[in-house]
């Protein structure tokens, strides 16, 4: 039976998916960078150790998210592809800027970049509404970029503290999203609520290995 014939008779779209979802990898990498920078912004660790946060963003988060973005494009997932690619590039530049700047300093140029990245996150947020948890992570990260950008532009301690708090929220929802999508991939069904509109909780995502109702 051809794929088209199967679609006409069952009403389902059959798509091969040789790769697991890259979102857990992308979200856990995001949590590492966001939480580490929050620790600096909230003065849990001294500003003199901020270079560690820069290394985390540059050497851990950015490469892992770049890999996740490639896998996202290969699986035809625009949220994991476009969204995570923007995250990867932004964290790479944030990490590099942190390493090259004096501890505790701010940068108007970095603030502009973060503001533009925050606006750019609207694209995967709007296009990924079928995956509310993924959208929540992307939207929260966009807010984090915006708040941190304001701090970089103004140098205000209040905005710095707000950025740290928002960063902890981003880390929390990112870890939840990673766990939810990872469990979904392992068990072939939703274990933790992710709000997927097209597939109600408890519905098997695949009847055969490599095949699911939607990509």
| Residue 67 contacts residue 187 (beta carbons within 8 Å) | no
User: Could you read off the pLDDT of 136-153 as tens digits, one per residue?
Assistant: 999 999 999 999 999 999
What are the sequence ranges of the domains in the chain?
Answer: 18-212
Sole residue written with tokens 């140098």: 155
Q: What is the pLDDT of residue 193?
A: 62
Mean pLDDT of all residues belonging to the chain: 84
Q: Name, in order, each residue with C-beta under 8 angstroms of 21's C-beta and a sequence gap of 6 or more.
A: 75, 77, 80, 181, 184, 185
Q: Pairing between strand 15-16 and 211-212?
A: antiparallel
Tell me, what DSSP letter sits at residue 47?
G
Q: What is the pLDDT of residue 77?
A: 82
- Segment 52-80 shows an average pLDDT of 91
- Please tell me the pTM assigned to this model: 0.81
User: In sequence order, what DSSP letters do the residues of 177-204 get, joined into one string?
Assistant: HHHHHHHHHHHSS-SS----SSS-TT--
In Å, what is the CA distance from 104 to each residue of 35, 56, 160, 162, 173?
17, 17, 11, 16, 27
Q: Does position 213 have pLDDT exceeding 70, yes or no?
A: no
* Percent of the chain topping pLDDT 70: 80
Q: What is the pLDDT of residue 109?
A: 94
Choose among 22, 27, 33: nearest CA to 168.
Answer: 33
Q: What is the pLDDT of residue 190?
A: 67
Residue 208 confidence class, pLDDT cut points 50, 70, 90 = very low
Tell me, what DSSP letter sits at residue 107?
-
Query: At the topology level of CATH, where does 18-212 sit?
Result: 1.25.40
């Amino acid at each position: 039976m051809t794929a088209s014939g199967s679609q006409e008779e069952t009403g389902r779209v059959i798509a091969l998916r040789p790769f697991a979802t890259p979102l857990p990898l992308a979200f856990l990498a995001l949590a590492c960078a966001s939480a580490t920078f929050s620790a600096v912004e909230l003065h849990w660790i001294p500003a003199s150790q901020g270079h560690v946060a820069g290394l985390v963003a540059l050497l851990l988060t950015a490469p892992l998210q770049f890999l996740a973005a490639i896998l996202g494009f290969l699986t035809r997932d625009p949220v994991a592809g476009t969204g995570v690619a923007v995250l990867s590039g932004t964290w790479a530049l944030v990490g590099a800027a942190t390493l090259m700047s004096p501890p505790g300093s701010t940068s108007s140029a970095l603030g502009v970049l973060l503001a533009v990245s925050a606006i750019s996150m609207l694209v995967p947020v709007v296009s990924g509404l079928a995956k509310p948890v993924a959208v929540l992570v992307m939207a929260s990260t966009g807010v984090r970029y915006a708040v941190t950008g304001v701090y970089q532009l103004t140098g205000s301690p209040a905005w710095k503290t707000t950025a740290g708090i928002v960063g902890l929220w981003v880390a929390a929802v990112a870890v939840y999203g990673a766990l939810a999508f990872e469990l979904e991939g392992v068990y072939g069904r939703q274990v933790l609520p992710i709000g997927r509109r097209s597939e109600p909780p408890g519905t098997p995502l695949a009847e055969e290995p490599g095949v699911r109702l939607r990509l």
